Structure 1
Amino acid sequence: EPDVFEQSRSSLQKKAKLYDTLTNAHFDADQLENMELLLVDFERKKPDAQTSPPEDSKRNDEWVECEDEFGRTRVVRKRALEKISRPNTLDGNADIYSSESSFASRAHIRHYDSRQENRTVGVGHYGFAQDNGEREEQMRNLKELREQTTAARSKARPSSDRRKAILAKRAEYIHERHAQIRRSMNRP
């Protein structure tokens, strides 16, 4: 097996040398006709090889650490740093609205409207009004109803416990009575 690896290695090295000579060589018209059989356009490859980036641009394209617009720390190429550090603009002059801008004031907030939904809502759904004043009133009324319900539940709990205690005593009395009747029937 080592011989097979050496043979394949040497053939690959020969092919690499041939490829290098073909990319760097100048061809005349007769040779170009035969080159079509190789399926590689070496004339096009030649200028591509000569346009490799210079060493200065490689040094300027180092990885740097920066912070993006969301406050995340990122590691990017130096050339991409300009895109990240640029202020966000829609066009040359207009800044994108930020959370501190007047656009985000409470007056412009749209509330959820279930009528716009394409699904059915459950029994417990309460559709608040879109008007802020009316909405606050509805929320206050709903809170009062919730407090009344919890008070009624806590008040009803002792009466149901009392009722359960009475039923338990009654069941105990009935069991005792049945036991007495059975004993009296078993006497000779």
Structure 2
Amino acid sequence: PEQKKTVWTKQNKGVDARNAKDKYIEEVESNVLARSREQLEKKAKIYEAMRSGHIQQEYSEYDDDEKAPLIDFDKKYLQERQLEEIREETERKLKKRRQEKEAEDVDDPWVEYEDEFGRTRTVRQSQLPKLLPEEKTKSEEDDYIPRYDYEIGDELADISHINHYDADAEIRTKGVGFYRFSKDEEEREEQMAKLNKLRQETENARKSAISAAAKRQQMMARNAEKIRARKAALQARKQHPLKQEPNNVSIPDINEESVASFLQSMRKQVE
């Protein structure tokens, strides 16, 4: 006898029909895709033949638009040739530039040097003599103890050949305190003398201001000490009113007006 199907073995309704339909659709779609692929390959071959010029067809302006091709293959061929020529020309220029750069690296290599500020710079070797000071070559004849020569002494005493810092020779941002000295030696000395004079005046004014402030502080300290002493004396008199003061000690009356006038007189003396 046939066993009764359980919930786990029983299939849903229409499963077999749906599977058969899906299989049929897959077969149809595969056939359609195969035919489409075949047609596209044929069109690609025709397009490549027309583009390369193996197939040439003449169309007049009176022909039907559907018969004429949508692409002007002659113009497209010329454009491709022009692009190819531009690409080849660009490659030749790049190759020539690389060769020139390699030759330049061999003839004029990059070298490192240390400038007057202690910074490491990289320049061409041909530019190095312009940046570094000229070094005198020492020959074997110079290996002796030189005697003093008056002409040499006079030459060393001449300071006209001294090279000062040239602000125009270096491109960099100067600080706020940068001062551009003159290239003329006499004018440069005058500028330095003026700067030294201003510096001395500034130092003197600073010292006088410090000394005046110290004197003012000392006077204020002495005045404060006197005021504290008088307040202590007044407080003692209030606490002991019957105590007689010595005849030789006279304490003046202290009020706000006397204190203000005293401070004003002391301020005038300080000024």
Q: TM-score, normalised by structure 1?
A: 0.34
Q: Return the structure number with greater relative CO, CA threshold 8 A, min gap 6.
A: 1
Q: TM-score, normalised by structure 2?
A: 0.26
**Larger Cα-atom Rg:** 2
